[in-house]
Structure 1
Amino acid sequence: MAKNAAERGSFSAKDYHDPPPAPLIDAVEITKWSFYRALIAEFIATLLFLYVTVLTVIGYKSQTDHTGNKNNDACGGVGILGIAWAFGGMIFVLVYCTAGISGSSFS
């Protein structure tokens, strides 16, 4: 195929057309509801992510604090692995839930 095209001296025309480049900031997009819906979804997802992960770290710290008369059970907290699962799980859930709203193709 390439040999035949090289012998002819030119390649055939493309069977598709490249779309024109889109501007980085489009003033028309700011007037649409989908922009604000995506903005609200991203904001709520960020708040949920911070809420769950920070509370997991705070809970781990308070459960493993052995200075007072608190629970001295070594298996009483979530541990480092639980913190990692909280971060990873929240990222998975929030990406899955907000992907269709904020413009990804995961939906």
Structure 2
Amino acid sequence: MVLVEMYAGGHINPAVTLGLFLARKVSLVRAIMYKVAQCLGAICGCGLVKSFQKAYYVNYGGGANELSAGYSIGTGLAAEIIGTFVLVYTVFSAIDPKRNARDPHVPLSIVKII
């Protein structure tokens, strides 16, 4: 399903949109529109959670990410960079038209990462 979404243009993650733009697979205008849509979707999702699940919203700080005790900012940044690289690399390997083998597990790896 996600593999089909990627071909149709469903860039769920802004890092994927940026990666596809840098690889010249998406135009600048389309990349900007995807980013705007992703930000608006995040705002709408946050608003829905805040309105329907106020206790969870307050309990989890509105979904804001923070480092666990014992981890430095550098460690958190490194984890984000590595995780983002793995996500974008997996998406690129799944949509590469030059790839001969079409492994059935590739879409599952994308769903698992996201």
Pair in the same fold by TM > 0.5? no
Higher RCO (CA < 8 A, seq sep 6+) = 2
TM-score, scaled relative to structure 2: 0.29
TM-score, scaled relative to structure 1: 0.31
Which of the pair is proportionally richer in helix? 2
